[in-house]
Structure 1
Amino acid sequence: MPNSKPRANSLIELHKPKRASSVALVVPLKDASRECLKRLARYECPSLPPYPKSQAAAVLVGLFVGRWGDIYVLLSRRSATLSSYAGDTALPGGRWDKTDASLEDTAASFAETARFIQIGLPIDKRRVPLLCTLPPFLARSHLIVTPVVVLVTDPTLRPILNAPEVDTLFSHPLASFLHDRAPFPLPSSSPYHDMPWGPTRVRLHSFLTGREASGTKPIAGLTASILLEVAQIGYGIAPEGFEADAPGQASRRERIAWELSRAERFVEALKREGIRYDWTKEERREREKRLGRDKSRL
C-alpha cells in the first residue's frame, strides 16, 4: 500500500449519495485511505435467503481517519463483569429487536440507533454515515451477525461509554490486519489455528493490539474475521504473509446453511418463524460449488 503524503479531501465525496448527504469536515487522507473508503462505499452486499430474525444480530465497524491520513477502527474491551466473553476485545453490537421491520432494517438501522449506546455514537447520518454492510458471519453463540461499516467524520465526537458493558474504547489501524509486521505483529509463529467445523476446517485468526501489557486481549475470533474482511475489501489486496482461509474452507454461506439445516436452535427458530426455505438444498449447492473450485485448483 502506498505511503503517500496526505492531502485534504471532503469525506462526503467518498460516499454513495443515498447513504450520506453533506458534511463540512475536511481531513487529510492518504491515497490508500481514500481508495479504501471508496471501495467500501461501492461494495454491494450479496443477498442471503431468509433466516430466523430471532437469531440475527449486527456489529458496528466504526472507521475514522487519523491525523496522518490513515484509517483506524474503533474497538471496545468488554466489561469484566459480563456473563459472556468478559474482557474480550470486540466490536459494539446487539441482537435483532422486535421493533425492526426486517433483517435488512436491522442491519441498516444498527449503525444509527441507540442500540450502540455502549460507545455513545450519535444518531446522525451526517457525522456517522453508512459505508456498507457485509455478508453475515456465523457466531459460536448460534447468531447470524451482520457487520455494518460506518465512517465517523466528526473528530469532535467524544464517546460516552456504558460502563456495565464496556470498560475501554480504543482505536487500531485497519491496514494492520493485512500483514504480520511491527508495530502490531501477530502473537506467535502461528498467527492462526485451523479447527474442525462441519464438513471442513475453519481458520481462526488472532492479532495483537499493542495494549496487551495493560490487560487488553488480542483481537480474535469473530471480531478478527470481520476486520480482516473489511481490510481486504477496502484495500483491495489479500493478506501478506498468511492465508485468510484454511485449505478447502467452506464459505460462510455454506456454513450458515449447514448450521440452519442441523443445529437444534436454528431448526426450532425456523419452525417458530414459519420460514420454509430449504437450507439443506442451499448447503448442498454451496458444497458443490466449493468442491468444483477445489478441483479447478488441482
Structure 2
Amino acid sequence: MSQKGDSNLYKFHRPKINLRETPHPLKEESKACLKRLASYRSKPPKLTFPRSRCAAVLVALFVGRMGDLYVLLSRRSATLRSYAGDTSLPGGKVDPQDKTIEDTARREAFEEIGLPIDRQKAPLLCVLEPFMARDQIIVTPVVVLILNNDVRPILNAAEVATLFSHPLAAFLSESPFPTEPEVMELPYHSFDDIPWKWGKAKEQKIRMHRFLTGREAGGVKPVFGLTAAIMIEVAKIGYAREPEFEVDAENQPSQLERIVSAMKYAEHFKEAMREENLDPERLPDPSKFAHHGRRRDPRRRRGRSRL
C-alpha cells in the first residue's frame, strides 16, 4: 500500500502506553478494549494508492468519569462545500509535508479542533485498514488515546461548528440509551442499503448505518455512513464482539474491493494514478478482494500488547 518514493506513509511508531496515566480509573471492559486496540495489527495489501486520493481521520478516544471509553465527534460547519453539517471525525487529505498517514490525522485534528500534536498526551493505539468514501477518496482511520483530559478544544469555526463525545460501546448496540427522549421517539440505530455502482452483480449493495447522537433536537445530525462504519469497526476490534445488528448487506463488497474498483474504473482515480505514474490497467480484478459478506473475527491480527 506504500507509494512510490513514499514508502513510509503507512509506517508508524508505536509507543508503550501506561494505562495508569488515564485521568479516571478504567473499567475492566475498557482496559481490555484498549489492550486489544493497542495490539491490533492491520495488514495492508501490497497495492499502490495515489497519494492525492488518500486521507486520514483521527479516532480520538478518552476515558470518562465512570471509566467508560468515548470518542470525539464534530459537527461540520454549515458553510463547507462538502458534507456540510454532517457529524464526522476530524480528518482530511494527505498534504505534501505529511510523512505518514498518522501525521495527516494528527495535523487535521489540530487544525480542526485544536487537539495538540503530542504523541505523549495522545499516543497511538492502532491504524485500521483503509475505507472507501463515496468512491472519491481512500480514508485510513488512526486511533489514539487522549491521556490528558485537561486538553481544551479550539474549534476552527470555518470547519467545525460543535464538538461532542459518544460512547464507543454504543456503536455495537441497537438501543443503548432507552431513557433518552430522542431515542424513545426514533430508533437509535437504523440503516439503508445503497446499490453499489461498480458491482458486477446488480444485487450488490452497501449498508449505510445511522446512529442517533441524542443531540438531534439541537441540530446535530446522526453518525452516518463512513463515520459510522469506522466506529463500528473500532468498537468490534476493541470489545472483541459483533454488534447486535448485521453490519453488511448480503454480498456487500469489501472495503478493498470498493477501493480497487474505484481505482480501476473511476475517471478521477485513473487520472490521479496516471499523474503519479501509476497504471490503473495493471490493477488486479476487484473481485479478487471480495469477502461476500463473510464476517471477520474482530480479534484477528493481534500483536504483542504495548500496555
Equivalent residue, structure 2, for 1:244: 247
**1:268 correspondence with 2:271:** yes
Tell me, in whole angstroms, the C-alpha distance in 1 between the residues paired with 2:108 and 2:233.
Answer: 26
Choose between structure 1 and 2 for higher RCO, CA contacts under 8 A separated by at least 6 residues.
2
Per-residue Cα deviation, 1:86-127 (whole angstroms, up to 9, x for no partner): 1111111110111234xxx1x221344366321101121111
Shift of 1:220: 0.4
Secondary structure at the counterpart of residue 273 of structure 2: helix
> CA 1:22/1:229 → structure 2, altered by over 3 Å: closer, same or farther?
closer
Shift of 1:270: 1.0
Q: Please, which runs of 5 or more residues in structure 1 have no aligned partner?
A: 1-15
Tell me, in whole angstroms, the C-alpha distance in 1 between the residues paired with 2:206 and 2:68.
Answer: 31
**1:52 correspondence with 2:50:** yes
How many residues align? The count is 272
Equivalent residue, structure 1, for 2:289: 286
Q: How does the TM-score come out when normalised to structure 1?
A: 0.84
Equivalent residue, structure 2, for 1:42: 39
Shift of 1:82: 1.3
Equivalent residue, structure 1, for 2:125: 131
Secondary structure at the counterpart of residue 51 of structure 1: coil
Q: Please, which runs of 5 or more residues in structure 2 have no aligned partner?
A: 1-11, 296-307
Q: How does 1:168-247 map to 2 (within 5 A)?
A: 168-183=162-177, 185=183, 187-188=186-187, 191-197=190-196, 198-199=198-199, 200-240=204-244, 242-247=245-250
Tell me, in whole angstroms, the C-alpha distance in 2 between the residues paired with 1:160 and 1:17.
Answer: 27
1:143 aligned residue (137, 141, 145): 137
Q: Identity, % of aligned pairs?
A: 50
Quick one: which amino acid aligns to residue 21 of structure 2?
Answer: L
Secondary structure at the counterpart of residue 261 of structure 2: helix
Shift of 1:53: 0.3
Tell me, in whole angstroms, the C-alpha distance in 1 between the residues paired with 2:276 and 2:93.
Answer: 16
Quick one: which amino acid aligns to residue 261 of structure 2?
Answer: W
Equivalent residue, structure 1, for 2:103: 109
Per-residue Cα deviation, 1:21-71 (whole angstroms, up to 9, x for no partner): 668734311111011111111111111311100001101100001000000
> CA 1:279/1:73 → structure 2, altered by over 3 Å: closer, same or farther?
farther
Quote the RMSD (CA, aligned, Å): 2.4
Q: Is the 8 A contact 1:54 1:269 kept in 2?
A: yes
Q: How does the TM-score come out when normalised to structure 2?
A: 0.82
Equivalent residue, structure 1, for 2:9: none
> CA 1:115/1:229 → structure 2, altered by over 3 Å: closer, same or farther?
closer
Tell me, in whole angstroms, the C-alpha distance in 2 between the residues paired with 1:281 and 1:31.
Answer: 44
2:93 aligned residue (87, 90, 95): 95
Equivalent residue, structure 2, for 1:10: none
Quick one: which amino acid aligns to residue 36 of structure 2?
Answer: R
Q: Is the 8 A contact 2:189 2:212 kept in 1?
A: no
Tell me, in whole angstroms, the C-alpha distance in 2 between the residues paired with 1:245 and 1:79.
Answer: 30
